[in-house]
Amino acid sequence: MFTQPIPTIRRDGDAVVILDQALLPHACELRRLTTLEEVATAIHSMQVRGAPLIGATAAYGVAIALATDASDARLDHALTTLAATRPTAVNLHWALGQMRERLLPLAATERPAAAWREAEAIHRDDAEMCAAIGRHGYAILERLAAGLDRPLRVMTHCNAGWLATCGAGTALAPVYEAQARGLAIEVWVSETRPRNQGLLTAWELREAGVPLRLIADNAAGILLARGEVDVVITGADRVAANGDAANKVGTYLKALAAREHGVPFYIAAPFSTVDFGCADGGAIPIEDRGPAEVCTVLGLDSDGAVKSLRLAPESTAAANPAFDVTPARCITGIITERGVCAPGRLRDLYPDAAR
């Protein structure tokens, strides 16, 4: 199974060590989180990001909180604090629900050890789901590449690679599987303003030796119109029961252009991203991250120091919805750990799912 070049998160005693993604790709730094508050801040500030990784990190946050006090009140405080960090990625709320279900029935004395076991199980299961998504997604890429005398050209948006998960990633898992199996592939990487998570994807792929070209988000349309894209694959933060999918802002525009030009558009997401409690995309909460991210950009100055630069004057009004919703009609299929289905057929893959 795929091994993360640097663990996105790992337990260290009663703490966790994360890779600080707010500095990547300009600097690669680890952070040791020892308190519930540090974990909550790491999720909210996007030092840790990516729907599945956010879920696993929140689970570890509960374990850290209970290490010193495993009372009902402490458990409730931890769950509430972590749930408030980011609204859109249902993985966060799913993981906290798993922790609540597992820990509430236990005596306080049993909770600390059980919390670490459950968080580690969520971590391990995510890595296995990523690997399965890679295998199922690879079958699609292999079919699309059949007969080509050139590399298959994949477009993706934001970062849904190993950095966003506990394993190989979701949207990029099929890409890594293709590379491992010798299928010629190249990736259009959309920069993904305003936080530019596409730079994380470019960093991942370059480190892995996968050919890529970084593009401005707005260049996706002409590439699709010119027939320079064979398939679009993105991750998701929440997939509603009818197959509508919330993902990083800008995904919807790519799906519209892909549909217009007959290019298949896939969402890759594990069960922890599916929310049968949401009937459709209209019920998915969309995070608003405030104007600062739109008006600034992180980069390196002439001395190679990581700096935040102001793009727009301080007084500039800005809107910053962090996600958008792609309607099921624009989605060719959803690649899950249980297989690939049409957007409205998720129940076929998860007949046993309660929520």
- Contacts with ligand LNRAV4D5, residue ranges (CB under 6 A): 49-52, 158, 160, 164-165, 170, 197, 234-235, 237, 247-248, 322
320 assigned ligand-binding residue: no
CA distances from 311 to 199, 298, 302, 314, 315 (A): 18, 10, 17, 9, 11
307 assigned ligand-binding residue: no
Residue 247 C-beta: closest distance to ligand LNRAV4D5, Å: 5
CA distances from 215 to 98, 193, 201, 202 (A): 39, 11, 12, 10
55 assigned ligand-binding residue: no
179 assigned ligand-binding residue: no
Q: Which is nearer to ligand LNRAV4D5, 179 or 247 (CB)?
A: 247
Q: Which is nearer to ligand LNRAV4D5, 113 or 341 (CB)?
A: 341
Q: What angle do CA 223, 204, 156 make, to 5 degrees?
A: 30
Q: Which is nearer to ligand LNRAV4D5, 111 or 217 (CB)?
A: 217
Q: Which is nearer to ligand LNRAV4D5, 229 or 284 (CB)?
A: 284
**237 flagged as catalytic:** yes
CA distance 122 to 19: 18
Among candidate residues 15, 14, 109, 115, the one with its CA nearest the CA of residue 71 = 109
Residue 271 C-beta: closest distance to ligand LNRAV4D5, Å: 13
Specify which residues 185 forms β-bridges with: 152
CA distance 6 to 96: 25
Residue 197 C-beta: closest distance to ligand LNRAV4D5, Å: 5
Q: Which is nearer to ligand LNRAV4D5, 5 or 13 (CB)?
A: 5
Residue 182 C-beta: closest distance to ligand LNRAV4D5, Å: 25
Q: Which of 230, 237, 244, 324 is catalytic?
A: 237
Structure-block tokens of residue 3: 């091994």
Residue 336 C-beta: closest distance to ligand LNRAV4D5, Å: 12
247 assigned ligand-binding residue: yes
CA distance 241 to 257: 24
**Burial code of 216-232, b = ≥16 C-beta within 10 A, e = fewer?**
ebeebbebbeeeebbbb
279 assigned ligand-binding residue: no
The amino acid occupying position 143 is R
Which residue has the closest beta carbon to ligand LNRAV4D5? 235
Binding residues: 49-51, 86, 197, 247-248
So which residues are the catalytic ones? Answer: 237
